[in-house]
Amino acid sequence: MPFPRQKEQSIHVSIRDQIASLEELATIDVDVRRLEEQIGKQLGSLEGMRSEVKELETRLKADRETFAQMEKTRSELSVELRQMSQQIERSREKLGRSRNERETNAAQREIEELRKLHRDREEEIERLSSATDSAKKSIEATETKLRGIVEQVEGTSEGTTRQLGDLESQRAARLAVRDGVVKKLPVVLYRRYESIRTKRPYAIAATHDGTCLGCHMTIPPMMFQKMLRQSEFEQCPHCRRILYYVPTPVRAAEGDADSGQGSSTSSRA
């Protein structure tokens, strides 16, 4: 669809000037989008490492609490084990003082029960010792990894801050140029450009033979004929980009070039 003509501005700004401004604006927007993507990647990388630091700190806190609880339990079992050893000794003394078969049997049963409990506690302590050793190694590995990432974050943060400053400066400079280009365009044309840009990052397309170079679809012949007059912009019926006509670049034939060289040679001769 053709764009409404802006009489006041079109008097001073030809469509060729508007095409040049549109192309410059589209190029600037590509640059700004690229810079913003780089800024996003820098921030995302730094944020990812900071997030990993938080996860490692949380894991380390939980592992340390678990390790402390296992150590406490092992210490309590060790105390209980020593108490059982003392009880076993007292039961043996009792067995030695037995005066009849009933007292002897009772003392032996007591010793067997205490020995069984003693073995159970020893096995529990052994399992806990193995678990605490594994937990200690895990904590040490996590601490090493955490230190490495913290150092990386600190170094990256400094470098990223500098890079972000450079990227932001470039972005600000391109946006300043953009403001100047926007002022050269009719308001209606710029609004349409912005509306299309929300759906298609590159909002303009050229044609020189009736094919939209944005979507590579053929436009209606009557639309193309109107565009040949280069008096107004159209909108591609397929991709909805702002469409404008540019003549096909003329290239000199190789034969003509060779002929020209031959004539030059003969004249020199």
Could you tell me the CATH number of the domain that includes residue 46?
A: 1.10.287.1490
Number of structural domains (the chain) is: 2
Q: Give yes or no for a contact between 60 and 139, defined as CB atoms under 8 angstroms apart.
A: yes
The last residue of one of the domains, among 181, 197, 232, is 181
Strand order in the sheet with 204-207: 204-207, 242-245, 234-235
Looking at the structure, tell me whether residues 213 and 176 fall in a common domain: no
Looking at the structure, tell me whether residues 121 and 156 fall in a common domain: yes
Looking at the structure, tell me whether residues 20 and 47 fall in a common domain: no
pLDDT at 13: 60
- What would the pLDDT profile of 3-27 be if each residue is shown by its tens digit? 554 444 443 468 889 999 999 999 9
CA 117 to chain centre: 57
Looking at the structure, tell me whether residues 174 and 192 fall in a common domain: no
- What would the pLDDT profile of 44-99 be if each residue is shown by its tens digit? 877 888 888 889 899 899 999 999 999 999 899 999 889 989 988 888 888 888 88
- What domain range is 208 assigned to? 7-27+185-254
Q: Tell me the whole-structure pTM to 2 decimals.
A: 0.56
Q: Is residue 260 part of a domain?
A: no
Q: Give the separation between CA 56 and CA 54, rounded to whole angstroms.
A: 5
